[in-house]
Amino acid sequence: VPWRAAAVPAFSAHDLNGGGHTHRELLGRKRFVVAITSTDASELSRAWLDQAEARLGRGRGNVLTLVALDLSFIAWDGIVRSQARAHTPQHRWPFVWLERDGSLARAVGLPNGNRLPWAYVIDAQGVVRMWIHGPVTHPDAPAFWSLLTAP
């Protein structure tokens, strides 16, 4: 499990608009992050995102998605981002950080191809305070949301 009770590891990724981002952007305020390593997890991650946006608002950068894929070299970045944009509401594009070459998954310690998303509460210092590997209906979800929305 990535960054469990530790600082966010160094990584970089690009959003669905092509803008570059690094782990440093996770510092400074509490955030919700959902991470996936398989396109099969997209529906389950969308449920997490919908719940997080309902609690934190949308478009403020408090709700992020890490899409950490490890695809063949013939899956070009442009094609992968285009397909991701087709399945993602436009207001989320700047907050979906995607890498298709396996580098993001390796940096944050996620196994490739898992069908379940990881949901994280990350504090202002970049430390994971709670994580869930599973659907938004997970038994620990109420405690997760309480921690996320607490001052």
- Count CB atoms within 10 A of the CB of residue 74: 6
- Tell me: the pLDDT tens digits for 67-120? 888 876 665 667 788 888 998 999 999 999 998 888 888 888 888 888 899 999
DSSP bridge pairs for 13: 21
Beta-carbon contacts of 14 under 8 Å, excluding residues fewer than 6 positions away, are 20, 21, 77, 81, 97, 98, 99
Return the pLDDT at 59.
Answer: 66
Q: What is the pLDDT of residue 69?
A: 86
Pairing mode, if any, of strands 12-15 and 96-99? Answer: antiparallel
User: Residue 91: beta bridge partners?
Assistant: none
Q: What pLDDT, in 10s, does the model give residues 1-38?
A: 555 667 788 899 999 999 999 999 999 999 999 998 88
Locate the DSSP E strands across the chain.
12-15, 20-22, 31-36, 63-68, 96-99, 118-122, 128-133
Spatial separation of the C-alpha atoms in residues 23 and 115, rounded to whole Å: 24
